[in-house]
Amino acid sequence: MDKLGAMVMHYVTVNYLDLKPIPISFLLADCDPKSERFQILHRETGQLLRHSRVLNNNFKAILPLKYSQENSLMCVMLDDNAEFNAAILDNVKPMLVDLVIFDPNNPQPYEPIP
C-alpha cells in the first residue's frame, strides 16, 4: 500500500538470458557388472578426481573442460570383495559437451560442440 492506503500494483519485468554454450567434459563409462566402484585419476600427478559407486553398470562424471582437450586421465574399476582384479584404462579423453543443452541422463543422441 502507498501513503494514502491505496493498493499499489507491481509489474514483473522479465529479463531473457542469452545462453551461450558452456563447454565442459563428460565421461560415461559402461562398467563390468561385477565392478562396484570407479575411480578417475590424473595420470601425470596421480590426483584422484572422482571415486564413486557404479550404478546400473554405468558411471557418469562431469569434469572441467581441460580434460576433454587432452588424454590425461586414467580410470580404474574395482570390486569391493576383491574377487576380481582391478581393470584400468589409460589415456582416457572425455567427450566435449555443452552444459546448456546436454542431458547426462540421455547422452547418446547428443551432438558435441563443433
pLDDT digits (tens, 9 = 90+) for 11-40: 778 777 677 888 899 998 888 888 899 999
Mean pLDDT, residues 79-89: 87
Strand bridging mode 23-30 / 95-98: antiparallel
pTM beyond 0.85: the answer is no
Backbone conformation region of residue 104, classed left if phi is above 0, alpha if psi is from -120 to 50, else beta: alpha
Q: Grid coordinates in use for 17?
A: 538470458
